[in-house]
Amino acid sequence: MAKLKPIKINHVSKYFGKQQVLDDIELTIEPETIYGLLGRNGAGKSTLFNIITDRIPLSDGEVTIAGQPVTDNDAVLNRIYLMSEANLYPSRMRVKDIFQLTAQLYQGMDMALAQTLAEQFELNMSTRFNKLSTGSRSIMKLIIALAVDVDYVFLDEPTLGLDANHRRLFYDALLDSYAKRPRSFIISTHLIEEASNLIERVWVLQNQHIIIDESTESVLNKGFAVTGPTADVEAYTAGLNIIGHEALGNLMVHYIYGELKGDRPIPDTVSISHIDLQRLFIYLTNQEVSTDEN
Ligand SMILES: Nc1ncnc2c1ncn2[C@@H]1O[C@H](COP(=O)(O)OP(=O)(O)OP(=O)(O)O)[C@@H](O)[C@H]1O
């Protein structure tokens, strides 16, 4: 089989009327890689997914795979699946019939996996779509997204309405499915810490731009909390990329994104630790901080 080509997002911009939501987005989606798209409410995550999967038109730029635009390109779009919040199914259709319908649209859907997952998630296959709870709707869509035989799966807020047990089950099912049949997953989520174990590469969308496009490992390696008496912390972090700070009783914490100064001695009173992705995200997407440093 020919080697799968990446999806290229080339200088994509999007306006809704006068409101610009995306500005000159440049991204590459490699095959067999799990991405996490992070961004605050209204940042444009769903819009970006809808553009890449050709659900809505872009205002400028193009999305290509092997040099071919995805727009109206059925051969390419059949290799891409978007699971989204939008409820596109006939409301009175039963779960099992929705599975069948999807299997007709997407050749090679793994119905055995769908059946197994439905049992694991205790999703009743005979229930009509309009009778499913919010969580069960998400579960049904997730099962479809894991069972369709495509090369790029976009999951827009996949865990919406799922309780903690079902979220755990979903992450496990995703990793299991990925191990058996590697493909790309692009996941937008607000539950960053939970998903951070899955995500190989992080994108952060903020103020119409992608401000981070890096491996999760590299992002985590650049996040530090420097804690100690205020004067010592300030002296140590002077000139570093401080993305936030917090007073902790008598102590001060400076959050840093980027390199520490290797040649600068660390005072005995100061401790330095890494911070998790959730906290990094919170500070990086706080409007006032700079993320230019890389
Ligand atoms: N069809 C539309 N018409 C007009 N404006 C829209 C439309 N769809 C989205 N928007 C606007 O574009 C911006 C981005 O919305 P989008 O849904 O892409 O954000 P998001 O990052 O997915 O947000 P959330 O995390 O809250 O789901 C918002 O200001 C939204 O109001």
Decide whether any atom of ligand 1 lies within 6 Å of the 57 Cβ: no
Q: Are residues 181 and 72 in the same domain?
A: yes
Question: Rounded mean pLDDT of 141-165?
Answer: 94
Secondary structure string (H, E, C) spanning 172-228: HHHHHHHHHCCCEEEEECCCHHHHCCCCCEEEEEECCEEEEEEEHHHHHHCEEEEEE
Q: Are residues 253 and 161 in the same domain?
A: no
Q: Specify the pLDDT at position 87.
A: 73
Is 65 a member of any domain? Answer: yes
Residue 229 belongs to domain spanning = 222-284
Distance 93 CA to ligand 1 centre (A): 28
Task: Enter the tokens of residue 16.
Answer: 């809704």
Q: Are residues 258 and 144 in the same domain?
A: no
* 165-196 pLDDT, tens digit each: 999 999 999 999 999 999 999 999 999 988 89
Distance 68 CA to ligand 1 centre (A): 27
Task: Enter the tokens of residue 134.
Answer: 């919010």
Q: Are residues 187 and 235 in the same domain?
A: no
Name the residue at shortest CA distance from atom 25 of ligand 1. Answer: 41
Distance 42 CA to ligand 1 centre (A): 5
Name the residue at shortest CA distance from atom 16 of ligand 1. Answer: 44
Distance 131 CA to ligand 1 centre (A): 27
Bridge partner residues of 7 (DSSP) = 29, 65
Q: Are residues 180 and 265 in the same domain?
A: no
Return the percentage of the chain with pLDDT > 70, whole number: 96
Decide whether any atom of ligand 1 lies within 6 Å of the 249 Cβ: no
* CATH number of the domain encompassing residue 120: 3.40.50.300
Q: Are residues 148 and 45 in the same domain?
A: yes
Q: Please, which pLDDT band fits residue 248 given cuts at 50, 70 and 90?
A: confident
Q: Are 65 and 7 in contact (CB under 8 A)?
A: yes
Distance CA 203, CA 212 (A): 5
Is 49 a member of any domain? Answer: yes
Q: Are 89 and 128 in contact (CB under 8 A)?
A: no
Q: Are residues 244 and 202 in the same domain?
A: no
Q: End of a domain among 218, 246, 267?
A: 218
What is the number of domains present in the chain?
2
* 3-48 pLDDT, tens digit each: 788 999 999 999 999 999 999 999 999 999 999 999 999 999 999 9
Q: End of a domain among 193, 218, 243?
A: 218
Average pLDDT value for the chain: 92
Decide whether any atom of ligand 1 lies within 6 Å of the 21 Cβ: yes
